[in-house]
Homo-oligomer: A and B are copies of this chain.
Amino acid sequence: MKIAILVYPGMTALDAVGPYEVLAQLRGAEVSFVGRQRGPVTCDTGALTLLAEKSIDEVPLADVLLVPGGPGDQRARADERLLSWLRAIHAGSRWTTSVCTGSLILGAAGVLEGLKATTHWLRLEALADYGAKPVAARFVEAGKVITAAGVSAGIDMALHLAAREAGERVAQAIQLSLEYDPQPPFACGAPQKAPEALVEAVSGAFDGIMAERMAKLEQAGS
């Protein structure tokens, strides 16, 4: 099973790496990190660089497509060559998936038209710009398209996908091998659960932090 994980400058690493750890354990999984071209891809903090082992031109087909999010999504959404690759991969995929604002990139590629979908809680409304129906959920399965909420939601989504592909027992074994028995120190990981003041503080700071990260990356020439 060919699994193509898109990587692009300004992506959030955990969006990709969480699901990758799950999906790479599926029997017969061939995971490729795929960039616009081969080579280093700097993630959103500027501190972590992943290698794109293949360019989009080298990957004409995939069974599973995974599109991570991050502040670099804006540039990705404006990249016609990339969007056209996503459309082509989606046309032949068994599953087309995203984490966080990766769904906005899928949206820009036209993949979400008429579908229920989700994304990072701070970007939910933007999904409607692409004809999607925003849903506040950990992940949303709509036909073969599965979109996950912000960053860490990709792990839950990937375990769900593993169960859909290989059965619950396999997914459970993967979950146990990753010791995925989350015990978050606070009960505030979603806006519905967090105190209002915290939601407001994060909402107020988020755009600035993302813009700052992208400005730093652009300065560094990524």
Interface of A is mostly: mixed
Within 8 A of B (CB), among A37-80: 40, 45, 47-51, 53
A114 proximal to B (CB < 8 A): no
Checking B18, B24, B173, B178 against A150 with a beta-carbon cut-off of 8 angstroms, the contacting residue is B178
A side interface size, CB within 8 A = 65
Q: How far is the CA of A205 from the CA of B189 in the complex (A)?
A: 34
Cβ–Cβ contact B173 & A202, under 8 A: yes
Q: Chain B nearest CB: distance from A164 CB in Å? A: 10
Cβ–Cβ contact B176 & A180, under 8 A: no
A13 proximal to B (CB < 8 A): yes
Interface string of A69-113 (1 = CB under 8 A from B): 000000000000000000000000000000010000000000000
Cβ–Cβ contact A171 & B156, under 8 A: no
Q: Chain B nearest CB: distance from A145 CB in Å? A: 18
Checking B12, B159, B189, B209 against A180 with a beta-carbon cut-off of 8 angstroms, the contacting residue is B189
Interface residues of A (CB under 8 A from B): 12-14, 17-18, 20-21, 24-25, 30-33, 40, 45, 47-51, 53, 100, 120-121, 138, 149-153, 155-156, 159-160, 163, 168-169, 171-173, 175-186, 188-191, 193-194, 198-199, 201-202, 205-206, 209
